[in-house]
Amino acid sequence: MKVLWFLLPLILWSEENITESFISDYEYGEMLYNSPRGVSCAECHGTSGKGKTIIKYQDIHGEEEIKGSDIRKKSLSEMINAVNSYHKIMPRYYLSDDEVKTMYEYLQKKNEVYLNSSK
C-alpha cells in the first residue's frame, strides 16, 4: 500500500498530460476551420484552403462559376480582417483573434510542403 501512495503523484501527473494532449492545437484548428459557428470555411475554401468551386450556373454569357479563393498564402492579419468584415459571398464571423490564429496556424501546418516549395 505504501508503494501505491508513492506512485499516486506520478499517476495523476501522467493523466493530466494525457488530457492535455487529447486535442492538439492542430486538431482544434482543424475543428474550427471545418465548423466555425455552423458555416464551414472548407465549404468555400476547400479542406486545405486551396479554394473551391461553390456553384456553377448558366446565364447569357454561358457557364459561370462562383469560387472560394485560395487562402493558403494569406497572412494572419488578412485572415482576421476577412473573417471580421462583410463580403458579398463570404459570411461575417464572430470569432476571436485567437480562434482565427489557431485556424491560420492549422492551415500553415497543413500546407507546409506547398508553402515551402513556392517561396
Binding flag, residue 64, ligand HEC (CB under 6 A): no
Binding flag, residue 57, ligand HEC (CB under 6 A): no
Among the residue ranges 5-13, 19-27, 82-90, 109-117, the one whose residues contact ligand HEC (CB under 6 A)? 82-90
Cβ contact 46:52 at 8 Å: yes
- Which residues, in sequence order, are CB contacts of 96 under 8 Å at separation 6+? none
Binding mask 28-47 for ligand HEC (x = CB under 6 A): --------x--x-x-xxx--
Distance (Å) of CA 105 to CA 4, 10, 64, 65, 110: 42, 33, 33, 29, 8
Nearer to ligand HEC by Cβ, of 45 and 110: the residue is: 45
Binding flag, residue 23, ligand HEC (CB under 6 A): no
Binding flag, residue 73, ligand HEC (CB under 6 A): no
CA distance 48 to 72: 8
- Nine cell digits for residue 74: 494569406
Kindly report the backbone phi and psi dihedral angles of residue 44, in degrees, each rounded to the nearest multiple of 5, phi listed first: -110, -30
Residues that bind ligand HEC (CB under 6 A): 36, 39, 41, 43-45, 54, 68-69, 71, 74, 78-79, 82-83, 87-91, 93, 103
